[in-house]
Chains A and B, each alone.
Chain A
Amino acid sequence: MTVDFKDSIQEALANPNLRGALGRFSEAYRVSRAKAYEGLDFEAIRDQVKAVKANAAGRLDEMAARFQAAAEAKGAKVVRLSSPAEVKAYILALAKERGVRSIVKSKSMASEEIHLNKHLEAEGIQVFETDLGEWIIQLAHQTPSHMVMPAIHMTKEEVADVFSQEVEPGQSPDIPRLVKFAREKLRSRFLEADMGISGANIAVAETGSLVLVTNEGNARLVSTLPRIHVALVGIEKLVENFRDVEPILTALPRNATAQLLTSYVSVITGLTPGPEGKDKELHIVLMDNKRSEMAADPRFKEALQCIRCASCLNVCPVYRLVGGHVFGKVYTGGIGTILTAWFDELKKSDEIQSLCIQCGACNDVCPGKIHISDLILEIRRRLVKEQGQGVAAKAIFKVVNNRRVFHSMLRAASLAQKPFAKGGFIRHLPFFLGDMTKFRSLPAIAEKPLRDTIRRIPQPESGEKAAFYAGCLIDFAYPEMGEAVVKILNKAGIQVLFPEGQTCCGAPARYSGAYETAAGNARDNIKAMLEGDPKWVVSACPTCTVALKEDFESTFTSLGMEGEIGGARRLSERVIDFSTLVKRLVDEGRLTFREGEELEKVTYHDSCHLKRTLHAQQPPRELLGKAGFTLEEMFEADICCGMGGSYSLKLPEISAPMLERKLDCIEKTGAASVAMDCPGCVMQIRGGMDKRGGKVKVEHTANKLLDRLT
């Protein structure tokens, strides 16, 4: 990460307008989006969106040819061009040939992608963006900071200043007046323009139709008034049939702006008469610019299912802190990172991809069912492959990959930390390590790791064995969590094994793109955890659970290590997270809770991997309820706490404000304690609570349940 990039993060975080605007928007968005989907089955709709988009993405060439034939049969001129340079040259030549002096544009991300305005303006043609947000950023000489709301980063005062400087002095920061001003100033531009340029939200191969979605009504004017209409369309906008429009038009407005439908939708098929009654010229440019290459890549093909709703930005806990000028280039946020890596180039996405904390909130709302965070991880992996891992990271992974060295270093650290540790916390670290404890205390490394203390818990002889996978945090920082898990399983008559050969789950390496290291960890763990033929392999860390259950196979697949996949699958079948297993044991009557007293009010924090990968948000809540606690839900319970493994070390400036929000939400419930299923979240939230002197107890669900079970 360059100093400039770190500076841009700091600058964005220090901008109260930006954080206020984005923060308020993201909070309101979740609520209003849910309302817009009332009575509809979002999962069914997004299955349809995915199906129609994937169908077209698998046959882009055929779709483009069919579109061309259909649109040309209706009088349009269709050109299929590949590179941005060709597209710009074509539109410029057309404008010159037709004597075009001024152009009005409705919003087109494809034109932003190729910097079309600059190219046309350099040749003396006037170009006016007419979408209000686009016009503002055009006047301010900026790029959009959001794909749907390009000027969301600016205050009304800033907009008034831009209007005053660039258009007419004396504009006041009154929003209705600013909007009226834009209407008046742009009206004459519409009436005088020789050419209108639009994008398209959907292009239908069957009929040659373009579908344009707007709220302001500018696309209607752009496509009606000037004598020439040019539509610049990325080929990922193609769908096969007219009927395919329905799921996209259902999801796009609801996901983008929480509307049932935008104010205007125009479906244009071939030539249409202009104001004088004569047919206008219609030129449709189908632009490839790497989209075909993307379609040919087995991993990234699914990114073509994007309908550009920007919901991945709206729910992103990082985007809402730093905005699109930091988190993005022309395209912003999660999907923007992926599109930048492809449409621009891989290394242009290096810094922005590092902002992704891998919480997966984007995957849950994506109407195209794109696994956005997984694709960002794949970008990370390819970057590491291309550019290599940083020296420091390399050294760390070398250690992590050698179990004996790694474990003896952790034991040594337990002694070395003595001067800094107090009451189980490290509150200050000297020198360059200071950043790590600025916003939260760190847990002291346990004097005796779980692998030693677990021997003191006598195990019942039983036909039913569970191998406990501790993971580094439970093993070395929070052995009491592991002890609780073991004792609870013992109560159900299960014999718990602790395979000595278990080592780091490989998540830190994988999330840093160091797949070879992750593969080494995977191989060691598969061997260790299957020893003794346990029925269950149980973990009380959701990140480890996901690593064991899903990531091992995926890492081997990415590296082409087919021979290892069988072992990964054998392990995967037995892996289960703590709460899901305990819930099952309770349901089967093998574990029972004590009857009786009313217990304290508890709130529950959803850990990212538990909720979004394992979909196990209900079992811990039900268990806490059955144990007698009163569950009080916090606001945004499933928003990431900012831990993200090593993310909080690499980007403490982003991790800290995420944690602050989480702590506020917890404290607002008035609960006496907060439970969670992830030792990483415990480390972050307990450390933050300690640092702010908060009173809420932070505990793993296992520790909350232990004494409540008979």
Chain B
Amino acid sequence: MPDASFERFRTKAEAVSAEVHSFPGDAEAMAFIRAFVEGAGGPAVYAPGPFLEANGGPGPDVEVTQAEAAAAAVGVSEFDWALADTGTLVQDATDPRQRLVSTLPPIHLAIIRGDRLLPGLGSLLDRVKPERASYLAFVTGPSRTADIERVLTIGVHGPARLVIVHVEGGRA
């Protein structure tokens, strides 16, 4: 039975052109990620995170340079919270690798665990301490502009695709 607030998150995220995929467990999610990266048509860059580490992905020492991120077809990273009201993903992106993989490649694949879902902005602001996270990053859909004739165009300086992998439940 899908979580009601996840459905809200999905609706809001899809409304701003994010692609949302939900999986019952780690194995299914990881299989999707591997296949997706394989088919992305170019190199992938990864930022470290507990899901990837626990599922045979890159560990905490994974290296990402600016040049690698700029040349990659897809960047993969994990998020700390999701906000149902706005379809937003939030992470502590103080580690620059988190920002490089999510800003420079044309596709950003973002992993979020089901137990990280919050109702909205207010509950997030109650939880985060900016003193402890120097760079908090909120992502709501892919990069967009309407600066020419108010025509919505996806993918300016950031990724043109935001692929969200939702893993039901919490950490195994």
Instruction: Mark A residues whose CB is within 8 Å of B.
Output: 21, 24-25, 28, 74, 130-133, 136, 149-152, 154-156, 159, 175-176, 178-180, 182-183, 186-187, 190-191, 204, 207, 209, 215-218, 220-221, 223-225, 242-243, 245-246, 249-250, 257, 259-277
Say whether B143 faces chain A, with CB atoms less than 8 Å apart: yes
Say whether B88 faces chain A, with CB atoms less than 8 Å apart: yes
Tell me which residues across on chain B come within 8 A of A182, comparing CB atoms: 156
Tell me which residues across on chain A come within 8 A of B157, comparing CB atoms: 130, 183, 186-187, 190, 216-218, 220-221
Would A218 and B156 count as touching, CB distance under 8 A? yes
Question: 10 A-B residue contacts at CB 8 Å?
Answer: A21-B150, A156-B149, A216-B156, A243-B126, A260-B140, A264-B139, A265-B137, A267-B130, A267-B133, A268-B136
Tell me which residues across on chain A come within 8 A of B16, comparing CB atoms: 259-260, 263
Say whether B99 faces chain A, with CB atoms less than 8 Å apart: yes
In the complex formed, the residue of B with least CB distance to A188 is B70
Shortest Cβ distance from residue B58 to the other chain A in the assembled complex, whole angstroms = 16
Would B134 and A257 count as touching, CB distance under 8 A? no
Would B156 and A269 count as touching, CB distance under 8 A? no
Expressed in whole angstroms, the Cα–Cα distance for A132 and B144 within the complex equals 10
Say whether B48 faces chain A, with CB atoms less than 8 Å apart: no
Do A187 and B70 contact each other (CB < 8 Å), given the known contacts A224-B99, A249-B121, A275-B65?
A: yes
Shortest Cβ distance from residue A205 to the other chain B in the assembled complex, whole angstroms = 12
Tell me which residues across on chain A come within 8 A of B70, comparing CB atoms: 187, 191
Would A261 and B156 count as touching, CB distance under 8 A? no
Would B137 and A269 count as touching, CB distance under 8 A? no
Would B66 and A191 count as touching, CB distance under 8 A? yes
Do A24 and B100 contact each other (CB < 8 Å), given the known contacts A74-B134, A263-B158, A264-B138?
A: no
Over the window 108-137 of chain B, the binary record of Cβ atoms lying under 8 Å from chain A Cβ atoms (1 yes, 0 no) is 000000000000011001100011011111
Would A175 and B143 count as touching, CB distance under 8 A? no
Expressed in whole angstroms, the Cα–Cα distance for A275 and B135 within the complex equals 13
Q: Interface residues of B toward A: which range?
A: 35 or more
Extra inter-chain contacts (13) besides given A156-B151, A260-B87, A265-B137, CB under 8 Å: A156-B148, A179-B145, A179-B153, A221-B103, A221-B104, A245-B125, A246-B121, A246-B122, A246-B125, A261-B86, A264-B140, A272-B135, A275-B66
Expressed in whole angstroms, the Cα–Cα distance for A509 and B158 within the complex equals 54
**Contact for B136 among A132, A133, A180, A266, CB less than 8 A:** A266
Would A220 and B121 count as touching, CB distance under 8 A? no
Instruction: Mark B residues whose CB is within 8 Å of A.
Output: 12, 16, 65-66, 70, 85-88, 94-96, 99-100, 103-104, 121-122, 125-126, 130-131, 133-151, 153, 155-159
Would A149 and B150 count as touching, CB distance under 8 A? yes
Would B156 and A209 count as touching, CB distance under 8 A? no
Tell me which residues across on chain B come within 8 A of A215, comparing CB atoms: 143-146, 156
Shortest Cβ distance from residue A627 to the other chain B in the assembled complex, whole angstroms = 42
Tell me which residues across on chain B come within 8 A of A204, comparing CB atoms: 130
Would A175 and B137 count as touching, CB distance under 8 A? no
Would A216 and B144 count as touching, CB distance under 8 A? yes
Tell me which residues across on chain A come within 8 A of B104, comparing CB atoms: 221
In the complex formed, the residue of A with least CB distance to B103 is A220
Would A175 and B125 count as touching, CB distance under 8 A? no
Expressed in whole angstroms, the Cα–Cα distance for A191 and B3 within the complex equals 42
Expressed in whole angstroms, the Cα–Cα distance for A95 and B130 within the complex equals 28
Max count, chain A CB within 10 A of own CB: residue among B96, B140, B145: B145
**Contact for A269 among B133, B138, B144, B146, CB less than 8 A:** B133
In the complex formed, the residue of B with least CB distance to A267 is B136
Expressed in whole angstroms, the Cα–Cα distance for A24 and B159 within the complex equals 29
Shortest Cβ distance from residue B88 to the other chain A in the assembled complex, whole angstroms = 6
Tell me which residues across on chain B come within 8 A of A260, comparing CB atoms: 12, 16, 85-87, 140
Expressed in whole angstroms, the Cα–Cα distance for A24 and B151 within the complex equals 12
Tell me which residues across on chain B come within 8 A of A259, comparing CB atoms: 16, 140
Max count, chain A CB within 10 A of own CB: residue among B94, B103, B150, B156: B156
Shortest Cβ distance from residue A563 to the other chain B in the assembled complex, whole angstroms = 49
Tell me which residues across on chain A come within 8 A of B136, comparing CB atoms: 266-269
Shortest Cβ distance from residue A45 to the other chain B in the assembled complex, whole angstroms = 12
Expressed in whole angstroms, the Cα–Cα distance for A270 and B95 within the complex equals 14
Tell me which residues across on chain A come within 8 A of B131, comparing CB atoms: 74, 207, 269
Expressed in whole angstroms, the Cα–Cα distance for A13 and B18 within the complex equals 40
Shortest Cβ distance from residue B150 to the other chain A in the assembled complex, whole angstroms = 5
Tell me which residues across on chain B come within 8 A of A273, comparing CB atoms: 94-96
Do A274 and B148 contact each other (CB < 8 Å), given the known contacts A179-B155, A269-B130?
A: no
Would B147 and A150 count as touching, CB distance under 8 A? yes
Would B146 and A21 count as touching, CB distance under 8 A? no
In the complex formed, the residue of B with least CB distance to A130 is B157
